[in-house]
Amino acid sequence: MSESRVFPAAIFNQAGLNRQHVFAIDALPEAVRSTLGDTENFRQLILLGHGGKRLWACVQAAGMAGENPIDDYVVQTVAQIFADHFADQKYRIVYPGDSPVGLQQLGKLAGWHHPSPFMVGIDDEWGSWFAYRAVVLADTDFLPFLPVDRRHPCSSCAEQPCISACPARSLAIGVLRWINASPTANRTARPVNSPASPAALARWAANIDTVKRNCATPTVSRYA
């Protein structure tokens, strides 16, 4: 392998993908590698996410109007960045996609994810206002990242406003009793015992949004 290069974070930041982590695939736990499919032709996994409002502004500026505009934008953006800057490197986008990638597992390894009472990942910089947007396998030679070393924000939160703000009082015992956190959250935790109707899911999403907005997170970190 040639001398490792520094990851071009500014390119991805400009596109709204301002959270990045580069892993050496060989260094990943087997439980994570097993969800990635064939990795023989790739050396690295690039985890992309976003925090704050820029990504949505980029999606709107790009005129994405399909059923999944953020996913479509991210896939298009990753393809364009590789074509423009890394044309000689092979890559494969695993997520968005059909593979059951453990996003929270990757988030923990990157230092992004700490568990919260409302079963959504949280960290000390972005609170719960961040999301995983892409997992890319690549034949690149970037310097692998070290995990981000931040404290668990809930450990110093004495008032716990998320618990008192929950409309259904489901956090009264300190854990969200009716949510089963999918390994692909921050965006796919779902009610376990609720009807999977659009109305039920809309009520659940509204409750989670209320809880998140009452979390002790800087306002600048919110999506909107």
pLDDT tens per residue, range 124-143: 666 666 788 999 999 999 99
Helix axes 54-61, 69-85, angle to 10 degrees: 90
Highest mean pLDDT among 10-14, 95-99, 164-168: 10-14
Q: 190 pLDDT band (50/70/90 cuts)?
A: very low
Residue 92 has pLDDT above 90, yes or no: yes
* DSSP run (H or E) holding 10: helix 9-14
Phi-psi region of 63 (alpha: psi -120 to 50; beta: other; left: phi over 0): left
Contacts of 59 (CB under 8 A, 6+ apart): 16, 69, 70, 73
Q: 177 pLDDT band (50/70/90 cuts)?
A: very low
Can you say how many angstroms the Cα of residue 125 is from the centroid of all Cα atoms in its chain? 14
Q: Which of residues 152 and 51 earns the better pLDDT score? A: 51
* DSSP run (H or E) holding 59: helix 54-61
Amino acid at 178: W
Q: What is the mean pLDDT of residues 71-100?
A: 94
Highest mean pLDDT among 20-24, 49-53, 98-102, 165-169: 20-24
User: Beta 19-24 vs 44-51: how paired, if at all?
Assistant: antiparallel
Q: Which of residues 147 and 115 earns the better pLDDT score? A: 147
Minimum mean pLDDT range among 13-27, 50-64, 197-211:
197-211
Amino acid at 188: T
Q: What is the mean pLDDT of the chain?
A: 77
pTM of the model: 0.74
What letter does residue 90 receive in the DSSP assignment?
A: -
Residue 19 has pLDDT above 70, yes or no: yes
E strands, the chain, in order: 19-24, 44-51, 91-95, 130-138, 179-180, 190-191
